[in-house]
A and B are shown apart, each in its own frame.
Chain A
Amino acid sequence: MLMIWISILFPVLAACVVALGSAKSARLTALVGTSVSLAALAIFAWNFPAWNTAEHFPSVSGPAWIPAAGITLSVGFDTVSLLLALLTAFLMPLCILGSFTAITQRSKEYYGWFLLLGSSIILAFAARDAILFYIGYEFTLVPMTLIIAIYGGTERRVAALKMFLYTFLGSMFMLASLLYVAWELRITSGAWNFDIDSLIDASVRLPAANQYWLFAALMVGFAVKVPLFPLHTWLPLAHDQAPTAGSVILASAMLKLGTYGNYRFALPMAPAGGAELMTVVAVLAIIAILYGSLICWVQTDAKKLVAYSSVAHLGLCMLGLFALNPMGAEGAVFYMVNHGLSTGALFFCIGMFYERYHTKDTDVLGGLAKRMPIWACFMVLFTLASIGLPGLNGFIGEFLCLGGAFTAEHDGQSGYPGVLGPWYAIVAGLGLIFSAMYLLILLGKLVWGPLREPHDGATHHPHVSGVPSLSPDLCFREIAILTPIAIACIWLGIQPKPMLDAIAPCAARMLTHYPQEVRRHLEHTSAPELTTTTSVNDHERATNE
């Protein structure tokens, strides 16, 4: 546990030193930031085999922080949270490396905020105490808002404000629900306790009606972060206005907090509510897939296009989660990691040509393969990964999510009944066809075709003083950013089994109560006159008493 805390707090400490320090050179600060985040990554990589367990590692709870309220400093990982934390730690040094030339003013602050952002995301993934999770989850807003509002594009303040307010309102609902569950635990156990596993144990015993509202409130909080249609409107604006590295970490790590919240809180805490509302969420997810894809089709701004494709892809991820069977859940978790890799890399690619041409408009730019062949290779690779080409990482996740939805029928195989089914999967599959179309159209315009450059292209652009001019194609630093992601994409595409095997027990644990609750829900809806409003758990409760 100490090592986990060190990996979280060391970057915080470094952030304070970097931000308050008197280093004159922006490059030096950036290098310090890179090495700090590399050190944090090294801790994760070194301890990965030991921390990677289906149950929480470590199994002990941490020291008390506020004993009267039962708040402890417990951190630990299961495979899912460890993978997402590792993804965050993996992207942090790349993001900082990727900001060397983009950030020219107030750079000390910038790197400080970035290190804080990484730590707070990892804290949210590592937390085993609901209040600690909330601290990490909520605090990510502070650095992100400032990164967008200070270093973003022309509409940066609106974008930052919108992101903050949407997420803040959503997380207030989440906080209220977590407190409510803690209160129910307090009634049964006699003491306040925010340990997540204990909260889950307490909340699955609640009456079905309470679970319904609990699920709805948690869902509102996490749906803003995912973002799920119709609460997604802050995302394209935030992505559009954020600096490149901000977009990368927003898409790859911060949005995962929403899906992770579903995995860790909403689904296991309120199985009765989840069974009741899964159709609603699945329909919203499918709307997100189709709606996001259709918008992408008409989008000429490359960055907004990738942002909307995120909405569509995360819709698919949610569909996989709410198939409520192991196939869908494993696929969704796998897809979280892979979306982080390929979408993050796409944002890097877009940032790299934006730095050279200062436009993201695909009507103005085109045929960049002639000018930037190395960049074009990476761009094609990551786009194909994002489309879900078999052999690359995106495919496995998409396939499993769709397969999960396909097999989630009433008399579902492997003991996991569901309310989705082939039709849901087919409609969602349409979205994948759309996604192939719009991403290939993007590639066609941007990479191939005749060379089109704006008048003040790379060679003529008057650079701001102090900014090193960029080579026409990628420099060594930029290749060093993209290569690790590319290796990860290919490796996970060829060799997904170890990761899927590791995820499987976690997914099964998340779904513990679902077959029973879904069956009850199905009986309830098919023959409402025969069933009473009490849930299976109510009966258990009555017999216990």
Chain B
Amino acid sequence: MIEAMSPRLILLVPEMILFAGAVLVAVLGLSRNHAIRSSLPFVTCAVLIASIAAVGATWSAENAQAAQLLLPMVGRFVKPLLAGIGVWLVLLSVGAVDRRLEESVARGRMAFDPQRVVQGEYYAFFLLSLMGAMLLCNANDLIWLFLAIELVSLPTYIMVAVGGTGARNHEAGVKYFFLGAMSTAVFLYGFALIYGSTGSLEFAAIRDALAVQSAGSGIDTLATIGLVLSILGLCFKITAVPMHFYAPDVYEGAPTHVTAFLSFVPKVAGFTALILILTCVGWSGHSLIAADGVRVTYQGLPTSIAAILWMIAILTMTLGNIGALLQTSIKRMLAYSSIAHSGYLILGLIAGAQGGIEALYFYLVAYGVMTTAAFAALCALERKGEELNSFDDLTGLRVRHPVMAWMLALSAASLVGMPPFIGFFGKIYLFIAAFEADQFGLVLAAVLNSAVSALYYLRLALVPLVSPPAARSEEVTATPSRWPQVTAVVLGVGTIVISAGAGILVEAARCAIQRTPVVTTSAQSESTPVDPAAP
């Protein structure tokens, strides 16, 4: 037992670092010393970089093998990805949390009150949520999966509510919490039904039980319903239809730096969870020996699951793009754009072992970079102390804030899939995978959707660059901290620079989904493109 435990514990070192970091920043946040409080984001960054280093140091093929994980190498890719984008998500929030309070304290209008500051808690929850997403990669049973995905979500409910200043944040937080709880109930019920059908909570045992079932009369109804409910519940995390409806309200109501977090971290976690669950029913592509000695070969997913994913993909991308067309608020537009991108990503789930998962992870890297760049540019600007929300705020932005205007344009070009930006290669790769899985119809739907998306992304690029400034946009100023701007520039330029190394990233993603752990040289360098500034 101990022999089985210790490699698993070694693999959890990055999470332990994050946990220690969370405790540290929560305590430091109560310090009376202003300098210590304002260094919190950088401490958080240091913790994240340390966890990237820990992944590199601990994730060996032997450990992953010994830990008996379903997808032993996935954490080798996903954890650095989460922490790498996480660093920039921290930097774009510098100076935004507790801003009013800190200003009042600095001006001496009120005394420092440890009970009222939330910055320490904010960054602690930030790290805990990332820790949950990382833990997910190590899941090998449903309970672990459930706890990890809840650990992703619970801190985000609080981050939405306390990260900003307004009453809208509280409203968004409450809305997010209740709907999130409902989705949790749905997938928990699904997990229970899977347990009821297969008699086990462990992925390996579930996989074998389902293999036996499908070798006989097919996967039984109970397990199918369980799987469908799990997928639907997890659709909440990835903002896919039919659980997407909260996204525009919550994304708009949350402070922008939290919206950036919401549009990336829960999505990575949700897709990783879906991949783990779907790996139990399909995709293996190699033979499994069932209890009666019959060799069963899986190809792809069971028809019912594939059909549901197919519908979800089409509806998600279409509703996302049509919804985004109609928005006047940038954050709502980006929320719908995030929904649409989930639709594209589900193509990867359907294509599965035919290169779909690696395409999905590659696209998640691209999506993380480009969408965070757009949010960072929004975080870097404000109008009369309020965050930007309407397209009217952006008209003629280039006159006063040329760099941010260009970064918005770069991220919009990447999001629409304009070559040679990273979003284009992400899409090409997803389409190739969908072809491999014989899903030409889905490719056609995604292609048409990309054409529709050009309408609103073009607006995001042209309004700041081309329109003449209006009275309203004259009042837009840069936020006091430089870090959101730095983030926007690094990631905005990254959308084009990373394209040059797309081949390396694709290889890294391919290694991540190996069933048998193989450490190759290209896997070593994967964190470099994700996180250009990390040492």
CB within 8 A of B447: which of A65, A149, A161, A176? Answer: A176
CA distance A160 to B466 in the complex (A): 11
B332 at the interface (CB under 8 A from A): no
Whether B418 lies near A146 (C-beta < 8 A) is no
Whether B444 lies near A66 (C-beta < 8 A) is no
Query: Total A-B pairs in contact (CB under 8 Å)?
Result: 87
Whether B447 lies near A173 (C-beta < 8 A) is yes
CA distance A44 to B503 in the complex (A): 30
Mark the stretch among B154-162, B253-261, B308-316, B428-436 that contacts chain A.
B428-436
Whether B502 lies near A139 (C-beta < 8 A) is no
Whether B419 lies near A134 (C-beta < 8 A) is yes
CB within 8 A of A69: which of B419, B428, B450, B458? Answer: B428
Whether A69 lies near B429 (C-beta < 8 A) is yes
Q: Which of B446-478 contact A (CB under 8 A)?
A: 447-448, 450-451, 454-455, 458, 462, 465-467
Cβ of A107 to closest chain B Cβ, rounded Å = 15
Q: Which of A192-210 contact B (CB under 8 A)?
A: 192
Least CB separation from B416: chain A residue: A168
Whether B458 lies near A164 (C-beta < 8 A) is yes
**Residues on the B chain within 8 Å of A192, using CB:** 432
CA distance A142 to B406 in the complex (A): 13
Q: A69-B429, A131-B428 are in contact. Are A142 and B413 (CB under 8 A)?
A: yes
CA distance A139 to B414 in the complex (A): 12
Q: A142-B418, A160-B462 are in contact. Are A66 and B451 (CB under 8 A)?
A: no
B64 at the interface (CB under 8 A from A): no
Mark the stretch among A178-186, A308-316, A356-364, A516-524 that contacts chain B.
A178-186
In this complex, the interface size class of chain A, counting residues with CB under 8 Å from chain B, is: 35 or more
Cβ of B396 to closest chain A Cβ, rounded Å = 11
Least CB separation from B459: chain A residue: A161
B67 at the interface (CB under 8 A from A): no
CB within 8 A of A169: which of B413, B435, B451, B506? Answer: B451
B510 at the interface (CB under 8 A from A): yes
CB within 8 A of A164: which of B431, B448, B454, B502? Answer: B454
Fill in one digit per residue for B394-438: 1 if any A CB lies within 8 Å of its CB, else 0.
000000000000000000010000111000110011011001100
B507 at the interface (CB under 8 A from A): yes
CA distance A155 to B214 in the complex (A): 63
Whether B465 lies near A146 (C-beta < 8 A) is yes
**Residues on the A chain within 8 Å of B424, using CB:** 135
Whether B458 lies near A161 (C-beta < 8 A) is yes
A355 at the interface (CB under 8 A from B): no
Whether B418 lies near A180 (C-beta < 8 A) is no
Whether B506 lies near A68 (C-beta < 8 A) is yes
Least CB separation from A149: chain B residue: B466
A102 at the interface (CB under 8 A from B): no
B443 at the interface (CB under 8 A from A): yes
B245 at the interface (CB under 8 A from A): no
Least CB separation from B506: chain A residue: A68
Least CB separation from A139: chain B residue: B419
Least CB separation from B443: chain A residue: A176
Least CB separation from A64: chain B residue: B503
CA distance A521 to B432 in the complex (A): 33
Whether A135 lies near B420 (C-beta < 8 A) is yes
CA distance A161 to B455 in the complex (A): 8
Cβ of B190 to closest chain A Cβ, rounded Å = 34
Q: A68-B503, A131-B428 are in contact. Are A168 and B451 (CB under 8 A)?
A: yes
Cβ of B495 to closest chain A Cβ, rounded Å = 13
Q: Which of A99-156 contact B (CB under 8 A)?
A: 131, 134-135, 138-139, 141-142, 145-146, 149-150
What is A's interface to B at a CB cutoff of 8 Å?
64-69, 71, 131, 134-135, 138-139, 141-142, 145-146, 149-150, 157, 160-161, 164-165, 168-169, 172-173, 175-176, 179-180, 182-183, 186, 192
Q: What are 25 inter-chain pairs, A to B, with CB distance below 8 A?
A: A66-B429, A66-B502, A69-B506, A131-B428, A135-B419, A135-B420, A139-B419, A139-B420, A142-B413, A142-B418, A146-B465, A149-B465, A160-B462, A160-B466, A164-B454, A164-B458, A165-B455, A165-B458, A168-B451, A172-B450, A179-B428, A179-B443, A182-B432, A183-B432, A183-B436
What is B's interface to A at a CB cutoff of 8 Å?
355, 358, 413, 418-420, 424-425, 428-429, 431-432, 435-436, 440, 443-444, 447-448, 450-451, 454-455, 458, 462, 465-467, 502-503, 506-507, 510
Q: A135-B420, A146-B465 are in contact. List 9 more A-B contacts (CB 8 A).
A: A65-B503, A69-B429, A145-B462, A157-B466, A161-B462, A165-B455, A176-B447, A182-B435, A186-B436
Shortest beta-carbon contacts, A-B, top 4: A135-B419, A183-B435, A66-B503, A169-B451
